[in-house]
Amino acid sequence: MFMMAAETIDGKAVAKGIEDEVRAAIGELGFAPALVAVRVGNDAASEIYVRNKAKKAQELGLRGTELIFDASLSEAALLAEVERLNRDDDVDGILVQLPLPRQIDPRKVIDAIDPAKDVDGFHPTNVGLLHLGRPTLPPCTPAGVIRLLDAAGISIEGARAAVVGRSDIVGKPVAALLLQRHATVTICHSRTRDLAAVTREADILIAAIGRPLFVTAEMVKRGAAVIDVGVNRVDAAFAERLAHDEAKSRALAKNGYATVGDVDFARVREVAGWITPVPGGVGPMTIAMLMKNTVAAARRRRA
């Protein structure tokens, strides 16, 4: 029997809609909220992420600023900088890009950010409010996942959802958001027995484990919505595993590497009903939701 391939959920298009909402909200505020992104060290990925966040903020009419410090910066000095930003009434949103150099405890830094300015949604106060189902600044990637499901018209209420990965940044908060929308949620992890049996029961499958091509077609319920949060760079060692994916194989041959998700996209799309690509799925949503959080923080602080 002939089966249609899954509908690809275009994260770029959905993110553009959120960006339009942000522009409109800034117009209603009557001023440009200020977002400050702090980076310590020269991690290449962090440099790109922070630059993209600041650039997008400026494109949308926010005031986006980068603060860049040498990798030798002490924990005390970074905490002092965070406190300065907390006290600055002109700053609406603060994010400190992870990872940080080993001499700095990221938990201390996150805990030091004013929860009202914590646009990443990582502060324990905001995490607690999220899990209690109260208004807060939600973590950007999990909030983006929910928006993608809504944009695709996927019903969350009453659905069985499986979240593969239990990180504080994605797995746990996206599970909380799905629960708030009345899904029945299972959080899976490295000690989950017969993982494939669990994921095959899911109407909504969120892959956020950080392992390239981990979710295979055999793990997916036919017609399920599959949201791939993973971003992994793989090299020639993955050539055989990517042989069935023409686009990724070409990228690997051309660049010496390919960017893949936690889901085997080419095969899973033949089983799933909806699927997000990597790149172009969840990634654009994370930055868009960060901008939305910054505007929300500015509004709340001045209410």
The tens digit of pLDDT for each residue in 259-300 reads 999 999 999 999 999 999 999 999 999 999 999 999 999 999
The catalytic residue among 118, 120, 245, 262 is 120
Looking only at the bridges linking them, the beta strands covering 258-260 and 232-234 are: antiparallel
Q: Which CATH class is domain 29-114?
A: alpha beta
Token pair 């949308």 in the structure block, residue = 60
Question: How would you label 132-164 residue by residue, b for 16+ Cβ within 10 Å and e otherwise?
Answer: eeeebbbbbbbbbbbbbbebbebebeebbbbbb
pLDDT tens, 191-237?
999 999 999 999 999 999 999 999 999 999 999 999 999 999 999 99
pTM (two decimals): 0.95
Catalytic residue, from 53, 117, 172, 221: name it.
53
Helices 44-60 and 282-301: crossing angle in degrees, nearest 10, is 60
- Token look-up 């956020």 returns 208
| Catalytic status, residue 53 | yes
120 tagged catalytic: yes
Average pLDDT, the chain: 95
How many other C-beta atoms are found inside a 10 Å radius of the C-beta of residue 47?
A: 15
Helix ranges restricted to H, 230-280: 246-255, 265-268
Tens digits of residue pLDDT in 2-27 = 457 899 999 999 999 999 999 999 99
Domain ranges of the chain: 29-114, 138-283
CATH of domain 138-283: 3.40.50.720
Establish whether 58 is a catalytic residue.
no
DSSP 20-59: HHHHHHHHHHTS--EEEEEEES--HHHHHHHHHHHHHHHH
Comparing 29-114 with 138-283, is the CATH topology the same?
yes
Q: Which residues contact 248 (CB under 8 A, 6 or more apart)?
A: 242, 258, 260, 265, 266
Catalytic residue among 92, 97, 118, 262: 97
162-190 tens-digit pLDDT: 999 999 999 999 999 999 999 999 999 99
